[in-house]
A and B are shown apart, each in its own frame.
Chain A
Amino acid sequence: MKHQYVRNVMIQYLDGELNRSASDRIKLHLNECKQCNSEYRFLQQTWGQAKIQVFTPGPELKMKIFTAINQQPYPGGSSAFIDLLFRFSPVTLAVTLGLITGLLQTNQLRTNLNQISSSGIPVIETIDEIGNFPGDSPENFILTSTGIGSLQ
């Protein structure tokens, strides 16, 4: 048996991962070859370190982690907000955007109404929830790019 092959599979042999035939041949070779036997013992000792090697975090690490988490403005910061946005379906997103646009348009409408009132054109105070103007039917008014004006 070649020495190099034995060296290559020594750890697999230590871990009992070789088949019986290969394992028996390695065992035989290790009994006969002093050099390989010496290397095997070294690997046996070194590889054995793996089982006992455990790292323990200091108690201050937990404090450090929780302090860092508590200092965040909200979980995830901006990346979490973006993740949340992408988690919505396209339909939900479209509805949300539609609502936002609607709100902005209502505000623009109010601004325009105020501009009309200050320019001497008859004042319209409020608009009800479905878009009608109090005391008047909507047909009496036109909606222009600059605001709402009376037809009269």
Chain B
Amino acid sequence: MNLNEIYNDYGGMVYNLCCRMTNREMAEDLTQDIFIKIHESIADFRNESSLSTWIYKIALNHCLNHIRREKLKKIFSLDAVFHSGVEPVSPPSREPDRIYETGETGNELHSAIMQLPTGQRTAIILQKFENLSVKEIARIMEVSISSVESRLYKAKTNLARILLHNNQGAMQ
């Protein structure tokens, strides 16, 4: 299978995952980086898992690395602002992940998902949007099935709380 065929079959899937893990503005750059990685390491693919699982793993790791980098950037930039004595324009969020919220406006579900811890976020995105089974999610995330089930349960409880809380705020 050449890269052109891989892109035709999985390009949309990778782009969608990037949109959901981060935001649409970042998704194109992330998708490009992920396909460069796929191009570089396609020779390593050994059919030990399905091609889609292998691609999901690469895409997910890249997105998670990007999220970690952005968190660090956010922390260091805030640190710089505080040390320079200049008042920040807006108060810092308690959760660095919230930086992504502004990337997607008008989508309360996406905003709520962005507030979840990355483990719960990943599990819920793979299950709800990518329609993957718990077993497949466990393989991609390299954790046990019970761990995925626990993350999914917590993610759904947290999402209900966030969505209802945001809805109450909007109603007032």
Contact = CB atoms under 8 A, between A and B. Distances in A.
A15 B110 CA distance: 18
A5 to B, nearest CB: 10
Interface in B128-145: 128-129
B4 to A, nearest CB: 8
A121 to B, nearest CB: 54
Interface stretch (B12-20, B60-68, B73-81, B82-90): B12-20
Contacts of B3: 66, 69
B116 interface: no
Contacts of A64: 28, 32
B110 to A, nearest CB: 8
Given A56-B12, A62-B11, A8 B31 contact: no
A57 B19 CA distance: 10
Interface residues of A, number: 32
Contacts of B109: 46-47, 49-50, 53
A137 B157 CA distance: 88
Interface string B1-29: 00110010001100110011000100110
B27 to A, nearest CB: 7
Nearest to A64: B32
Contact of A12 (B24, B27, B39, B153): B153
B58 interface: no
Contact of B28 (A8, A11, A53, A61): A61
Contact of A43 (B15, B128, B164): B164
A75 interface: yes
B159 interface: yes
Nearest to B43: A75
B12 to A, nearest CB: 6
Contact of B40 (A9, A58, A61, A75): A75
Contacts of B31: 57, 61, 65
Nearest to B156: A11
A42 interface: yes
B50 interface: no
Given A7-B161, A43-B160, A57 B11 contact: yes
B51 interface: no
Given A42-B167, A49-B109, A11 B160 contact: yes
Contacts of B24: 55
B36 interface: yes
B55 to A, nearest CB: 14
Interface string A34-47: 00000100110011
Interface in A57-101: 57-58, 61-62, 64-66, 68-69, 72, 75-76, 79-80
A49 to B, nearest CB: 5
Given A11-B156, A55-B16, 5 more contacts: A53-B109, A57-B31, A65-B32, A69-B35, A79-B40
